[in-house]
Amino acid sequence: MVTSLTEALVVGPGIETHVRRRRRLSFRLGVWLSALLVVFVTVAAVDPSLLASGAPDTINLGHSFIAPSWSHLLGTDPSGRDVYTRVIYGARQSLVIGLLATLIAMVIAIILGVTAGLGGRWVDALINRFLEVLFAFPGLLLAFLFVAIFGTGVVTEVVAVAVGSAPGYARMIRGQVLAVKGSGYVEAAYALGHAPRRVISRQIVPNAMRPLVVLATMGVGQSIVWASSLSFLGLGVAPPSPEWGAMLDAGRDYTLQAWWLEIFPGLAIVLCTLAVTSLGRYFQQKLDGGIGA
Amino acid sequence: MKKVESMSIRRKAKWYSTWSVALILATSVGGVVVTNAGATTSTIVKGGTLTYGTDREPTCLDPHNYGDMPQTYIARQYLDSLVSELSDGSVAPWLAKSWTISSDGLHYTFQIKKGVKFTDGTPLNAAAVAANFAQIENPKTQSATDAGYLAPYYVSTTVKGPYVVEVNLKKPYSALLDVLAQAFFGIESPKAMSRGLTANCQSPVGTGPFIVQGWVHGQSVTLERNANYNSAPANAKHQGPAYLSKIVWKFLEDSSVRFAALQGGEVPIIFNPPAQDQTALNADTSLSLLQFTHSGIPNGIALNTSKAPFNDVKVRQAFFYASNAKSALKSAYEGTLPPASGPLSSSTPDYSSLFENTHNFNTVKANSLLNAAGWTGHNASGYRTKDGKALTARLVYSSNTGDTPPADLTLLQDIQASEKTVGVDVILVPQSESTYFNSFTNETNHELLWGAYWNSPTPAVLNIVYSTSALKPNLGNNSAFTSDPALDTILLQAAASTVPATQKKLYGQAQAIVQQQAWDLSVYPETTRLGIANTLSGVWIEPSEGEPVLSDAWLSK
């Protein structure tokens, strides 16, 4: 994900206009659908009772393994719980975990990235080596390590995902800070005699933070996938939470018998991540356009 | 082309010879033609590598250390015990060819089989057997299971002659022989044991039909045939070396993966096929199921009586009534497992059926008991309160799927939902396996504990699980943290008695106390269920611990 982000940010203006227009037109439908889905998921997260009438943990032992039908849109699980209701209620946890994890990752990344970019050669070298050590481990492995030390649970899951994804963001922010630091307008500001503190707060940091909107949006998608992965492996939230990854985990032994237990939570993760990511890419394109204009 | 032709001729020739031999043997000898449960009939084939797919990896291959079920299942393949349990509850000679019991029940004298050697060349004799008891008793061995069985009764082991050994007890213990039949008490080479616990855990040495060749942690243990095996138990299906040349004991934690491996023909035998695939297993004519219901304490939830809210018997009984455990079991295991309701599994000697329905689902009784216990308030979430404190219970379980398969998780959530209807807030707390094991002896961080079973051939196990002497020494001993002097007395009297009627009466009284006190919510008996492909024959399950026996098994080509 980070690699593609890095590549995407490098793609700047200079693509021929007609090609661009056509791409934009086809992109629009996707953007609208994505926006619609994000709104739907947000409503589900804010007030799930608007979209589902029952409660996600109401057990009905006489109604287990009912295939999708009008009475149970997405079927029922072994305990007779309605899968649709659980998927809707699961949106809150999945989205909140995704948002919070991204937020924490960003805070860690900004502190590390900006300090490295502005802190001088030694500080930069130190932080860079530290980040390189973290890069030696895949992000999800860092998250595993965190869970292994601090145990399972929602809070650990959020922090674990944040810790796992922060190094990638930190490296990007450092790059942005360095790029902005060397730009003409910063030089001009210094030449005009502005104090370094003022240049940092007024010029460097705000300009370096612009691509963060894109990073953050796309990061939410990534965090949702990672959090689901942790829950799927039994390292996330405890049952009977309807978190999507946990639902996937609970249903995996019943794949042949009750396919709906796997397909629908899986689809929820895929669609939600796709929607958030494609919105992120749309913002990124807007931003590139803005820079190019 | 030529190659193919010659192959088909060879196959035909083999088919011909196999059937002619089978026919001759069937008419002349009779007993040699063996039919496995649901499998095809064929003659015994020697050689071949068998892969056995199981759920949990043992922590140590020496079953004297710690003593968890995965250890006993594998240890049966390379360790022999002094005696072998029979399905009628009596024992047959094994490494002990005979024995006598003193009239006061305090001295057991065993005559050890001669001419038997451990696979490292050490001879089996009385001194070797005494060294095993010494290792079991040594606190450094960290024996949870063996010490649980022996410590309250054991004094010493005396070598009376080169092949005569005497076990001395301080109190009579009528269950001793059944206890010694378990692979937990398998006899190991003293030379191998002297290497120290770490080396012995990796490759224990016995006199058994197979030899531990290697253990790749996280993957498998490889066992090789002991070509000199001459010490099979009297109840074995054949004497002499095993038929298989090698066993790969493979760890396939995920039950659906295990079943797929069985169905796909990669693994001819798996431990505990998942309940949700029972229909598929029944429908597949190339597969069969061998099932054994363990005796002992059924699997269930231990109620922590050391603190509120379960230090109050009324709350414990209310928890039983509100659990609806039978329906939860039916939903989670789709009817493949029988329910367990009393303190003992129904296959245990002296089991009393009086308690099967004493705590059936009854919210009216649960509510009135909770009211009587003073939990009369209700908070905003609908849970009961007393003195401003909510009726909350943290239920801990292992997050390892081998320990807690998905069906168990469904079961726990069903019980959680059912308890909610009477205002009890059960919070499910997954723990890493090591933290979970620690919870067995540390009462501070949980109110309920899932997985409190103890498989045992004897009702004397009640002493390990509920007596004051078993309070907190080891994992699995007294998980409810109880102490009842009246029960202690009854259990000691029962262990000392050799009169079946007296034992039945005393164990009946003990079960009544345990059930009335509601210390453990029994949910289902532990089972050894083996999914077997019809290419594998001769597998049987021994009845002391439900250990699969592979020394009589063979693979047809």
Task: Give pLDDT tens digits for B200-220.
Answer: 999 999 999 999 999 999 999
Q: How far apart are CA B51 and CA B405, in angstroms?
A: 22
List chain B residues with CB under 8 Å of A256: 276-277, 280
For residue B276, the 8-state DSSP code is G
User: According to the model, what pLDDT value does residue A293 have?
Assistant: 31
Q: What percent of chain A has pLDDT over 90?
A: 32
Q: Look up tokens 């998921």; give the residue.
A: A41
CB-CB under 8 Å, A238 with B410: no
- Confidence band for A29, pLDDT divided at 50, 70 and 90: confident
Nearest-by-Cβ selection for A253 from B255, B327, B429: B255
Structure tokens at A16: 């021929």
B233, with CB counted inside 10 A (0-12, 13-18, 19+), is: buried
Does A240 lie at the interface with B, CB-CB under 8 angstroms?
A: yes
pLDDT tens-digit profile of B283-317? 999 999 999 999 999 999 999 999 999 999 999 99
Q: How far apart are CA B179 and CA A133, in angstroms?
A: 54
List chain B residues with CB under 8 Å of A60: none
User: According to the model, what pLDDT value does residue A80 have?
Assistant: 92
CB-CB under 8 Å, B409 with A238: no
| SS3 per residue for chain A | CHHHHHHHHHCCCCCCHHHHHHHHHHHHHHHHHHHHHHHHHHHHHHCHHHCCCCCCCCCCHHHCCCCCCCCCCCCECCCCCEHHHHHHHHHHHHHHHHHHHHHHHHHHHHHHHHHHHHCCHHHHHHHHHHHHHHHCCCHHHHHHHHHHHHCCCHHHHHHHHHHHHHHHHHHHHHHHHHHHHCCHHHHHHHHCCCCHHHHHHHHHHHHHHCCHHHHHHHHHHHHHHHHHHHHHCCCCCCCCCCCHHHHHHHHHHHCCCCCHHHHHHHHHHHHHHHHHHHHHHHHHHHHHHHHHC
Using DSSP bridges, classify how beta strands B392-398 and B425-431 pair: parallel, antiparallel or unpaired: parallel
User: According to the model, what pLDDT value does residue B58 have?
Assistant: 95
CB-CB under 8 Å, B328 with A240: no
- B contact test, residue of A61, A63, A64, A144 with most B CBs within 10 A: A61
- Confidence band for A214, pLDDT divided at 50, 70 and 90: confident
What's the gap in Å between the CA of A153 and the closest CA on chain B?
Answer: 9
CB-CB under 8 Å, A239 with B429: no
* pLDDT at A11 exceeding the cut of 90: no
Q: Comparing B449 with A134, which gets the higher pLDDT?
A: B449
Structure tokens at B499: 């009169």
Contact B290, B532 (CB under 8 A): yes
Cα distances from B207 to residues B97, B293, B546, in angstroms, run: 15, 28, 20
User: According to the model, what pLDDT value does residue B469 have?
Assistant: 85
Nearest-by-Cβ selection for B417 from A57, A255, A257: A57
User: According to the model, what pLDDT value does residue A16 have?
Assistant: 46
Q: How far apart are CA B180 and CA B199, in angstroms?
A: 24
Does A154 lie at the interface with B, CB-CB under 8 angstroms?
A: no
- A contact test, residue of B394, B413, B436 with most A CBs within 10 A: B413
What's the gap in Å between the CA of A155 and the closest CA on chain B?
Answer: 14
What's the gap in Å between the CA of B509 and the closest CA on chain A?
Answer: 35
User: According to the model, what pLDDT value does residue A19 have?
Assistant: 52
Q: Reduced to 3 states, what is the DSSP secondary structure of residue B119?
A: coil
- Confidence band for A13, pLDDT divided at 50, 70 and 90: very low
* pLDDT at A197 exceeding the cut of 90: no
Contact B370, B556 (CB under 8 A): no
Q: How far apart are CA A93 and CA A77, in angstroms?
A: 19
CB-CB under 8 Å, B331 with A79: yes
Can you spell out the DSSP letters for B473-502? SSTTSSTT----HHHHHHHHHHHH---HHH
Q: What percent of chain B has pLDDT over 70?
A: 91
CB-CB under 8 Å, A250 with B407: no
Q: How far apart are CA B547 and CA B52, in angstroms?
A: 13
Nearest-by-Cβ selection for A252 from B256, B413, B435: B256
Q: How far apart are CA B547 and CA B539, in angstroms?
A: 11
Cα distances from B290 to residues B38, B249, B270, in angstroms, run: 9, 18, 10
Q: Greatest CA span in chain A, whole angstroms? A: 78
Does A93 lie at the interface with B, CB-CB under 8 angstroms?
A: no
Half-sphere exposure of residue B339, counting CA atoms within 13 Å on the CB side?
19
- A contact test, residue of B253, B403, B410, B429 with most A CBs within 10 A: B410
- A contact test, residue of B255, B276, B327, B330 with most A CBs within 10 A: B276
Nearest-by-Cβ selection for A234 from B280, B417, B430: B430
Q: How far apart are CA B273 and CA B280, in angstroms?
A: 10
Residues (pLDDT < 50) of chain B are 1-40
* pLDDT at A143 exceeding the cut of 90: no
What's the gap in Å between the CA of A60 and the closest CA on chain B?
Answer: 9
List chain A residues with CB under 8 Å of B435: 151
**Model confidence, pTM:** 0.81
CB-CB under 8 Å, B401 with A239: no
Mean pLDDT of A28-40: 90
List chain A residues with CB under 8 Å of B431: 151-152
Does A206 lie at the interface with B, CB-CB under 8 angstroms?
A: no
B284, with CB counted inside 10 A (0-12, 13-18, 19+), is: middle
Residue pairs spanning A and B at CB distance below 8 A? 74
Mean pLDDT of A49-76: 91
